[in-house]
């Protein structure tokens, strides 16, 4: 560690992360592993809970979001061992057999927990559920799943015309639909498919562009009657279908690896090997974008593990060039736009991100927060309703006081930007990183060399 690179100052409920890189500069070196994929971790816990028999999970993300999922399903009678990255056991209750919880289900900060779970709850006939989340999640749009579920005759009530949590659900036997989703969202797609598991007949979702397909892959592995039509981005589940407990191996999260891919690209003289990263093609938009920016990244030891493609990623620092990112690649790098904005600050030319209005309804308004924060650090950023224009070519940023707005990906993106800033950057509410990456700061300390 290069002192005083990192200092966490705790206030009552929050921690400020202070980074003061040494004036002589630093580089990033080493071989690291990132925590388990968040999307796959949620799905492993949920399908394990719904399946008949035991599911064993290796590589689970032990972050706050999967803890929320586990807590919700435990409250519905599912036995789930203590979460750890090596071996988690879920004793499935069998489809349709979740118990009515005697208290409110709390999805915490996790949109995936709430949206996927709503499909499951709405189709559990004869049981009543109440669902809530933290301050951020209670502002995020739920109508995108409530409306199609209501088309399936689900009974759901919530604030603002059923658009916001807290939500109440009276489980029903639902009617199958063919839903043409207006947005490419894996949370919407997965919610409807999960509702379709208990619904007699064919439930189909068609999306405008392909979003992450972890649900489809895992449902197939668990024995669901599911078919995919790639030409039309459609998936069909035929219910009722039974699931059978499986062994799931969760690869490292490419969304977490993205911080190191950008960090090593922009910090001169760096080289990192990031082992065991999931490289599912519906998630590798970040690799395509960084390739367009002429980053130096190679995939090594490519293999398939438990139905998901995996590789080790080697990244060396490089002179980045600006690029334009928009269209169908956006759903494949949706969570990586904040860290790509950091890369763009160092890329020669003006980088344009468009078609990314979805970022405004994530854990924070990620377009506004990144424009504002990078602006404070001396980068010229123009905010558009659906994207950003970032004037690059910086060799160093200016240390500043910024805020994560309790958004994990903002906290970590700003920490990477701070590595290349003169003076001290203080990131308020940086504890948010633990949502998806509990040991982010430790890894940062390990790889920094003076």
112 near ligand S3P (CB under 6 A): yes
106 is a catalytic site residue: no
CB of 437 within 8 A of CB of 430? Answer: no
Q: Which is nearer to ligand S3P, 5 or 167 (CB)?
A: 167
Q: Which stretch binds ligand S3P (CB under 6 A): 24-32, 183-191, 309-317, 395-403?
A: 183-191
CB burial string 371-384: b at 16+ within 10 A, e below: bebbebbebebeee
Could you say whether residue 207 binds ligand S3P (CB under 6 A)? no
Q: How far is the CB of 278 from ligand S3P (least distance, A)?
A: 12
Q: Which of 312, 335, 403, 407 is catalytic?
A: 335
According to the binding rule CB under 6 A, does residue 334 interact with ligand S3P? yes
Yes or no: say if 356 and 344 are a contact pair by the CB < 8 Å rule: no
Q: Is 280 in the site for ligand S3P (CB under 6 A)?
A: no
For residue 314, the minimal CB distance to ligand S3P (Å) is 26
CB of 112 to ligand S3P, least distance (A): 4
Give which of 150, 139, 126, 131 is closest to 69, Cα–Cα.
131
- Residue 407 is a binding residue for ligand S3P (CB under 6 A): no
Q: If binding means CB under 6 A, how many residues of this protein chain bind ligand S3P?
A: 10
3-state secondary structure of 134: coil
The span from the CA of 158 to the CA of 161, in Å, is 6
Q: Which is nearer to ligand S3P, 212 or 217 (CB)?
A: 212
Q: Give residues 293-322 in contact with ligand S3P (rule: CB under 6 A).
A: none
Q: Does 110 bind ligand S3P (CB under 6 A)?
A: no
Residue from 113, 136, 172, 185 binding ligand S3P (CB under 6 A) = 185
For ligand S3P, what does the binding mask look like between residues 349 and 378, x meaning CB under 6 A?
Answer: ---------x--------------------
**Residue 187 in the binding site for ligand S3P (CB under 6 A):** yes
CA atoms of 336 and 372, how far apart (whole Å): 17
- Residue partners of 151: CB distance under 8 A and separation at least 6: 177, 179
68 binds ligand S3P (CB under 6 A): no
The nearer residue to ligand S3P, 185 or 276, going by C-beta atoms, is 185
- 123 touches ligand S3P (CB under 6 A): no
Measured CA angle at 229 (ends 226, 230), to 5 deg = 125
Among 16, 20, 27, 39, binds ligand S3P (CB under 6 A): 39
Q: Per the structure block, which two tokens stand in for 413?
A: 């993106």
d(CA 278, CA 98): 31
Q: At 130, which helix (H) or strand (E)?
A: strand 128-132
E strand map for 317-422:
324-325, 350-353, 380-384, 387-391, 397-398, 401-403, 421-422
Compute the least distance from the CB of residue 362 to ligand S3P, in Å: 6
Which value, to the nearest 10 degrees, does the dihedral of the CA atoms of residues 241, 244, 245, 249 take?
A: -80
Strands across the sheet containing 401-403: 6-10, 15-19, 425-428, 401-403
Nearer to ligand S3P, 249 or 447 (CB): 249
Q: Work out whether 186 is an interface residue with ligand S3P (CB under 6 A).
A: yes
Residues contacting 289, CB < 8 A, separation 6+: 323, 325, 329, 333, 336, 340
CB-based contact 421:21 (threshold 8 Å)? yes
- Nearest approach in angstroms of CB 335 to ligand S3P is 5
Only segment of 91-99, 186-194, 218-226, 233-241 that touches ligand S3P (CB under 6 A): 186-194
**Shortest distance, CB of residue 116 to ligand S3P, whole angstroms?**
7
Binding site for ligand S3P (CB under 6 A): 39, 112, 185-187, 190, 212, 334-335, 358
Catalytically active residues are 335
């Amino acid at each position: 560690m290069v002192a005083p690179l990192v200092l966490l100052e705790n206030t009552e409920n929050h921690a400020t992360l202070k980074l003061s890189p040494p004036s002589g500069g630093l580089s990033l070196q080493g071989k690291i592993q990132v925590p388990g994929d968040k999307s796959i971790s949620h799905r492993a816990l949920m399908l394990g809970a719904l399946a008949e028999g035991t599911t064993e999970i290796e590589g689970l993300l032990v972050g706050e979001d999967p803890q929320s999922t586990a807590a919700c399903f435990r409250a519905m009678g599912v036995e789930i061992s203590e979460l750890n990255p090596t071996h988690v056991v879920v004793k499935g209750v069998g489809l349709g057999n979740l118990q009515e919880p005697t208290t409110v289900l709390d999805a915490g900060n996790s949109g995936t927990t709430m949206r996927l779970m709503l499909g499951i709850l709405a189709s559990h006939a004869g049981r009543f559920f109440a669902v809530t989340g933290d301050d951020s999640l209670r502002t995020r749009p739920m109508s995108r799943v409530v409306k199609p579920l209501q088309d399936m005759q689900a009974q759901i009530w919530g604030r603002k015309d059923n658009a916001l949590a807290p939500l109440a659900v009276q489980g029903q036997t639902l009617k199958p639909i063919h839903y043409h989703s207006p947005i490419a969202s894996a949370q919407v797609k997965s919610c409807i498919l999960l509702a379709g598991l208990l619904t007699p007949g064919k439930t189909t979702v068609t999306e405008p562009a392909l979003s992450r397909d972890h649900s489809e892959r895992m449902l197939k592995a668990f024995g669901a009657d599911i078919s995919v039509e790639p030409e039309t981005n459609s998936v069909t589940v035929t219910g009722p279908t039974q699931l059978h407990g499986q062994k799931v191996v969760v690869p490292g999260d490419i969304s977490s690896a993205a911080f190191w891919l950008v960090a090593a690209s922009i910090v001169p003289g760096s080289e990192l090997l990031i082992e065991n990263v999931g490289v599912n093609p519906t998630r590798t938009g970040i690799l395509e974008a960084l390739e367009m920016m002429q980053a130096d990244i190679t995939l090594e030891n490519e293999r398939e593990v438990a139905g998901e493609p995996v590789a080790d990623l080697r990244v060396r620092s490089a002179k980045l060039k600006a690029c334009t990112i928009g269209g169908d690649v956006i759903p494949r790098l949706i969570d990586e736009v904040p860290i790509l904005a950091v890369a763009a600050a160092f890329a020669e030319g003006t980088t344009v991100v468009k078609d990314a209005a979805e970022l405004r309804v994530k854990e924070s308004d990620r377009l506004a927060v990144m424009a504002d924060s990078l602006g404070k650090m001396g980068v010229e950023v123009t905010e558009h309703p659906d994207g950003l224009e970032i004037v690059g070519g910086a060799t160093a940023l200016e240390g500043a006081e910024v805020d994560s707005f309790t958004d994990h990906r903002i906290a970590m993106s700003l920490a990477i930007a701070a590595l290349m800033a003169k003076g001290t950057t203080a990131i308020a509410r940086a504890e948010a990183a633990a949502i998806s990456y509990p040991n982010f700061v430790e890894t940062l300390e390990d790889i920094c060399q003076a």
